[in-house]
Amino acid sequence: MAAGLTYGLHSRRWTRPPHHFSTRQDPSDPQESPLKTTRFLLRPTTNLGFLSQTFRATRLGDSKKYILKVGTEVPQRRKWAKELHVFERELAAYRLLAPLQGKCSPRLFCGVSANQGSDGLLLLQEIRNARNLDQLHGLSSTELTSAIRAIAHIHAYFWNSPKLKKAKGLPHHHYMRAHEVRRNLPAFLRWAKPSPRNRTLFIKLTSQVPSILARFKKRPFTLVHGDLRSDNVFFGERSVRFIDWGLSLAGNATFDLARFAGGSARKPLSLSQHVDLFSLWHRELLRRGVRNYPTHEAWSDYRDALLLTLTIPVTNGPTLAKFSHRGHKMAKVMKDRFIFAARVVNHE
């Protein structure tokens, strides 16, 4: 792998953003595009990631524009990244997506993961001439539709693919931290102070989630983005591309659909709107060759996936709220949107 990437990866402790980094590609690795030994000029981006940081990278004599993604310097976020193995997962996902040649995600030129996935280096294609819309503001119905059609392309491409079982660093059925809902519930309830009705909804998760995870392990699997939301989508004139695959997994595709429709809609969706988006996604799967996944089974999975999204504010909300002012807003919006979606579709 890209053993020649040099950036002080294992021991770096920066006091200010670095200005240069060097890369040397291992020619024995066919996974990434070859890059000669070179130096890049770095400029910080305006994207303030929770578990990583990014820089625009350029080099003399090269008209291409790159993004360098590295681990966060914030200790608490770094701990979280280590628990989730974000760089291992993201590297695995980009390698799997390589045959799509940048149609649904930026191309990976070279990369490495270290420190159990809490740190790493990813040199990626910069997405240009595309809009990245704010998660807090949310997406219109047109934007939701175009992104769901695009993610269905990825889901269909990897449907029950044996490549997923062989992909190093890609976990199976790790839907963020859903399996930790019982341990995190008391702290969440203290932070969120939900109404009695919503409190009951969250308490029921402790018995529902293990059953859902067990059912999902018996269902069709594919490459799942795992953190599909507006902040991680770029809308071009004729394309939609997805970034930040650090929570990717092999699992049930409806988790992406539920995470996106339930968490990124500008206005709360009615039941009929959920049905319309679900139907669009399912038709796209069938059009792209998915078989033996009837509508009633897929809808049942979607309803379960919407309940799983409720574990996201439970396991992440209190910590996210402490990260920053934006993190506090994000945690509250996330909680409210997922509650509404789960209630509408599951008649809770």
313 lies in the same domain as 174: yes
Pick the last residue of a domain from 75, 100, 125.
125
H-assigned helices in the chain = 75-84, 86-97, 141-157, 162-166, 181-192, 196-203, 205-216, 254-264, 271-287, 295-309, 311-323, 325-346
217 lies in the same domain as 269: yes
120 lies in the same domain as 143: no
The total number of structural domains in the chain stands at: 2
265 lies in the same domain as 281: yes
116 lies in the same domain as 169: no
Residue 308 lies inside a defined structural domain of this protein? yes
225 lies in the same domain as 111: no
Residue 111 lies inside a defined structural domain of this protein? yes
Rounded CA-CA distance 111/29 in Å is 11
Pick the last residue of a domain from 107, 125, 143.
125
Domain of residue 79, residue span: 20-125
Q: Domain of 210: which CATH number?
A: 3.90.1200
Residue 8 lies inside a defined structural domain of this protein? no
Q: What is the pTM of this model?
A: 0.90
Supply the pLDDT for residue 304.
Answer: 98
Distance of CA 90 to the CA centre of its chain: 9
DSSP string, 253-320: THHHHHHHHHHHBSSPPPHHHHHHHHHHHHHHHHHTT--S--HHHHHHHHHHHHHHHTHHHHHHHHHH
From first to last of its 348 residues, the chain has per-residue pLDDT tens of: 333 344 444 334 333 344 455 554 444 444 455 555 568 899 998 876 788 999 999 988 888 999 999 999 888 888 889 999 999 999 999 999 999 999 999 999 999 999 999 999 999 999 999 999 999 999 999 999 999 999 999 999 999 999 999 999 999 999 999 999 999 999 999 999 999 999 999 999 999 999 999 999 999 999 999 999 999 999 999 999 999 999 999 999 999 999 999 999 999 999 999 999 999 999 999 999 999 999 999 999 999 999 999 999 999 999 999 888 998 999 999 999 999 999 999 987
Residue 4 lies inside a defined structural domain of this protein? no
Q: Domain of 93: which CATH number?
A: 3.30.200.20
201 lies in the same domain as 297: yes
164 lies in the same domain as 262: yes
Pick the last residue of a domain from 99, 125, 151.
125
